[in-house]
């Protein structure tokens, strides 16, 4: 850790700041909820991308972690003995990396095509390893996954009969439901999605083929998916660090993530320009929220600048710091190499964003 600063206000900017107390409270809250739920927690690391956070989630009771990409799984394998890559791994280059990763950690992946199953089988058998596979079912995203229980059973049987592979179960993600603002509407959308996923489970089990894992869920739907009959794992991710968009939907989690910026220009008493633009904080879910000082709103972002307007600008000078809350943590974190970990305003550690940029 660089000891040249002790206060977060001394950090060079833009800086990604992580509130340790809020992070640990969020991990504990989710762990406590899931301890009383019917499903287990397999938190998604695509948000935080950090081995230090994954280690804490596993220590709090998570059965493993979820990754979006093979590169993330490679980066976090040293701390995660059980990883789900919740995507399809396709092509000889990536499949070769996957079987090498299997020698380091227990890993399973999603599939939705017979040709991919055959390629995974050939590579696993040649390497002398066993891969667990989840057949993905499209439960409303219109993205990856098969559409019907019959298609799911066909692929499950193909996996079950293939060398080097184990049919572990099913995956489905109700991402279209996780940010519905009204709770009962969100519940209804999530339960409709889970009904489709678990109907595929029952259809496969009726054929005599066991389904060990049904995995799905997100931060916005953890309460519903975590207690839905026939669902075994919840892949919630954003809850650990939180962001402004989710904070308006599920306020039981504390905001742990912020970006510190510096005032670099002051065109007038009602406007300041900061050094945190779209290369430091992302706007796809809305403009960042100004946490400090009061009386400022983010009007726009360009590549390297943020424009912040309001009465709070009057008291600011060049070189002063402002604190911003991202509206989307996943994409903001991926822009930074490290977290500056704070308790109160004191910097207590620096953690690498280990899987930053690992999109391949």
The three-class DSSP label of residue 74 is: helix
DSSP per position, 180-227: -SSHHHHHHHHHHHHHHHHHHHHHHHHTT----EEEE--GGGHHHHTT
Instruction: Kindly state whether residues 95 and 232 are assigned to the same domain.
Output: yes
Contact in structure between 243 and 219 (CB atoms under 8 Å): no
Q: Looking at the domain assignment, is residue 190 inside a domain?
A: yes
Instruction: Kindly state whether residues 112 and 212 are assigned to the same domain.
Output: yes
Q: Looking at the domain assignment, is residue 338 inside a domain?
A: yes
Decide which of 240, 261, 277 is a domain's last residue: 240
Instruction: Kindly state whether residues 264 and 217 are assigned to the same domain.
Output: no
Decide which of 240, 270, 302 is a domain's last residue: 240
Peptide bond before 45: cis, by omega within 30 degrees of 0?
Answer: no
Would you state the pLDDT for residue 54? Answer: 98
CATH number for the domain including 329? 2.40.37.20
Per-residue pLDDT tens digits of the chain, which is 360 residues long: 455 568 999 999 999 999 999 999 999 999 999 999 999 999 999 999 999 999 999 999 999 999 999 999 999 999 999 999 999 999 999 999 999 999 999 999 999 999 999 999 999 999 999 999 999 999 999 999 999 999 999 999 999 999 999 999 999 999 999 999 999 999 999 999 999 999 999 999 999 999 999 999 999 999 999 999 999 999 999 999 999 999 999 999 999 999 999 999 999 999 999 999 999 999 999 999 999 999 999 999 999 999 999 999 999 999 999 999 999 999 999 999 999 999 999 999 999 999 999 999
Instruction: Kindly state whether residues 152 and 297 are assigned to the same domain.
Output: no
Range list of H helices, 207-315:
222-225, 244-247
CA atoms within 13 A on the CB side of 237: 21
Instruction: Kindly state whether residues 175 and 323 are assigned to the same domain.
Output: no
Q: Looking at the domain assignment, is residue 48 inside a domain?
A: yes
Q: What angle do CA 259, 260, 264 make, to 5 degrees?
A: 125
Would you state the pLDDT for residue 353? Answer: 98
Would you state the pLDDT for residue 252? Answer: 98
Measured CA to CA, the distance from residue 303 to residue 288 in angstroms comes to: 14
Handedness of CA 26, 27, 30, 32 (dihedral sign): negative
Measured CA to CA, the distance from residue 220 to residue 67 in angstroms comes to: 18
Instruction: Kindly state whether residues 48 and 178 are assigned to the same domain.
Output: yes
Residue 117 burial (CB < 10 Å; 0-12/13-18/19+)? buried
Measured CA to CA, the distance from residue 33 to residue 250 in angstroms comes to: 14
Would you state the pLDDT for residue 170? Answer: 98
Decide which of 240, 272, 290 is a domain's last residue: 240
Contact in structure between 170 and 110 (CB atoms under 8 Å): no
DSSP per position, 41-67: E--B-TTT--HHHHHHHHHTT-S-EEE
Q: What is the largest CA-CA distance in the chain?
A: 72
Measured CA to CA, the distance from residue 294 to residue 278 in angstroms comes to: 22
Would you state the pLDDT for residue 3? Answer: 52
Q: Looking at the domain assignment, is residue 84 inside a domain?
A: yes
The three-class DSSP label of residue 101 is: helix
CATH number for the domain including 125? 3.20.20.10
Instruction: Kindly state whether residues 147 and 124 are assigned to the same domain.
Output: yes
Instruction: Kindly state whether residues 126 and 259 are assigned to the same domain.
Output: no
Instruction: Kindly state whether residues 110 and 224 are assigned to the same domain.
Output: yes
Instruction: Kindly state whether residues 272 and 197 are assigned to the same domain.
Output: no
Would you state the pLDDT for residue 257? Answer: 98
Measured CA to CA, the distance from residue 290 to residue 312 in angstroms comes to: 10
Would you state the pLDDT for residue 1? Answer: 47
Instruction: Kindly state whether residues 207 and 283 are assigned to the same domain.
Output: no
pTM: 0.96
Instruction: Kindly state whether residues 94 and 207 are assigned to the same domain.
Output: yes
Split into its structural domains, the chain has a count of: 2
Q: Which residues form the domain of 322? A: 8-16+252-352
Q: Looking at the domain assignment, is residue 145 inside a domain?
A: yes
């Amino acid at each position: 850790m660089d000891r040249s600063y002790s206060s977060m206000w001394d950090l060079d900017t833009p800086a990604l700041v992580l509130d340790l107390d809020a992070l640990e409270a969020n991990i504990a809250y989710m762990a406590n909820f899931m301890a009383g739920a019917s499903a287990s927690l397999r938190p998604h690391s695509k948000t935080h991308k950090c081995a230090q956070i994954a280690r804490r989630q596993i220590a709090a009771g998570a059965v493993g972690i979820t990754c979006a990409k093979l590169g993330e799984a490679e980066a976090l394998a040293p701390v995660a003995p059980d990883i789900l890559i919740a995507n399809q791994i396709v092509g000889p280059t990536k499949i070769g990396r996957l079987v090498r990763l299997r020698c380091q950690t227990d890993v399973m992946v999603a599939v939705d095509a017979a040709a991919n199953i055959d390629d995974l089988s050939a590579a696993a058998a040649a390497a002398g390893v066993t891969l667990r596979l989840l057949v993905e079912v499209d439960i409303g995203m219109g993205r990856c996954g098969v559409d019907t229980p019959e298609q799911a059973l066909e692929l499950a049987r193909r996996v079950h009969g293939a060398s080097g592979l184990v049919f572990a179960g099913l995956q489905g993600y109700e991402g279209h439901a996780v940010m519905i603002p009204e709770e009962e509407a969100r519940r209804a959308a999530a339960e409709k999605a889970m009904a489709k996923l678990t109907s595929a489970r029952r259809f496969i089990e009726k054929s005599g083929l066991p389904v060990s894992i049904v995995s799905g869920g997100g931060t916005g739907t953890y309460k519903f998916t975590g207690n839905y009959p026939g669902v075994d794992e919840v892949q919630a991710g954003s809850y650990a660090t939180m962001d402004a968009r989710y904070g308006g939907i599920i306020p039981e989690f504390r905001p742990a993530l912020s970006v510190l910026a510096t005032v670099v220009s002051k065109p007038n008493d009602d406007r300041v320009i900061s050094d945190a633009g779209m290369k430091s904080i992302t706007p796809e879910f809305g403009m960042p929220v100004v946490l400090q000082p009061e009386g400022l709103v983010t009007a726009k972002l360009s590549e390297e600048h943020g424009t912040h307007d309001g009465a709070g600008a009057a008291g600011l000078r060049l070189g002063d710091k402002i604190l911003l809350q991202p509206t989307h943590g996943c994409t903001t974190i991926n822009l930074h190499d490290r977290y500056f970990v704070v308790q109160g305003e004191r910097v207590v550690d620096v953690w690498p964003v280990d899987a930053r940029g690992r999109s391949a």
